[in-house]
Amino acid sequence: MKAIALTEFGDAEVMSLQELPDPLLGPDQVLVEVRAAGVNPVDTKIRAGYLRGLMPHHTPLIPGWDVAGVVRAVGIGVQAWKPGDEVLAYARKDHVQFGAYGELISLPDRLVARKPSTVDFVTAAALPLAGLTALQSLKAIGAGSGDVVLVHAAAGGVGHLQVQIARVLGASRVIGTASPRNHDFVRSLGAEPVAYGDALVDAVAELVGGDGLVDAVADNAGGLAFDQSLRLVRDRARMTSIVDGPRALENGVVNTWARPDAEQTRWLVDLVADGRLRVEVQQTFPLEEAVKAHKLLEGGHVRGKVVLTV
């Protein structure tokens, strides 16, 4: 099969289109024809070699943890799926090697969720990792009913889904940080936009009124946003960070690392099918232009998601 792969770690140019053997199919796995693969910041970090201390990596390495496609074959132990089924998955495995940037991927059937026919493959591929991260980090701090929630990087892949999911979970108000050019977009998602930067603490305090504090914070940006959030949240146990694990642990903040979960993926994609969750895809690229997709994402200002089509 054709796939984007790398044999050494580095900048985007280490990736190239290669002819590689088709993935092998284990007894509890499904073999999926990839129609679209979501691009996530973690793919760029893996490509750069930054995650080698966290998980075993093997080359040639095909990046990509988000997939939407069609089941081609199933392993001997698989009953839930059959060839022709349309599926999506957060396809993170224990070893980093055979990802979604290729024509085929094999993955454990427990990771896979059914794709509703009304949700297209590009939208489906943009959803799992970012949607699960958004949902699991909100759940980790019990964000929901009646809460005023602050979401950082609200125009990004995780954030734009998280502001909407927070409302679905019952948050009374969601405040989202973004640059001014994204404020109308953030407003259209049901959140109150504020500009990030030095003036953020005062801006949020003024917006919420009263004691100027919020009930829950999802830090998807780190750095200054993390420090400011410590000053804005009423109770640090109700703040989570997906970017700064060590500092989260030092400060009594909840560190979230998203886990694959087929049931939650199904819940998310059903929200999309029902029109209650909007997935914004800024741009798609054909698989062979994965280098361009990584460069765009590494610019740090994508609105919503970037997706590769196969």
Q: With contacts defined by CB under 6 A, name the span among 29-37, 72-80, 88-96, 156-164 that binds ligand NAP.
A: 156-164
The Cα 171–Cα 165 span in angstroms is: 9
Which of 113/293 has CB closer to ligand NAP? 293
CB of 143 to ligand NAP, least distance (A): 16
CB 168 within 8 A of CB 271: yes
The Cα 183–Cα 185 span in angstroms is: 5
Q: What is the DSSP secondary structure assignment for residue 244, as one 8-state letter?
A: -
CB of 160 to ligand NAP, least distance (A): 8
CB of 195 to ligand NAP, least distance (A): 9
CA distances, 152 to each of 35, 56, 105, 197 (Å)? 31, 31, 33, 11
Is 155 a binding residue for ligand NAP by CB under 6 A? The answer is: yes
Which of 99/156 has CB closer to ligand NAP? 156
The contacts of residue 117 (CB under 8 Å, 6+ apart) are 86
Residue nearest to ligand NAP (CB): 156
Tally of residues, the chain: 310
**Tokens, residue 279:** 């997935």
Q: Which of 17, 7, 11 is nearest to 294 (CA)?
A: 11
Q: With contacts defined by CB under 6 A, name the span among 26-34, 47-55, 152-160, 229-237 that binds ligand NAP.
A: 152-160
- What pairing do the DSSP bridges indicate for beta strands 239-241 and 254-255? parallel
Which position among 218, 297, 308, 310 is part of the footprint of ligand NAP (CB under 6 A)?
A: 297
CB of 255 to ligand NAP, least distance (A): 8
Residues that bind ligand NAP (CB under 6 A): 40-42, 130, 133, 152-153, 155-159, 177-179, 182, 196, 220-221, 225, 242-243, 256-258, 297, 300-303
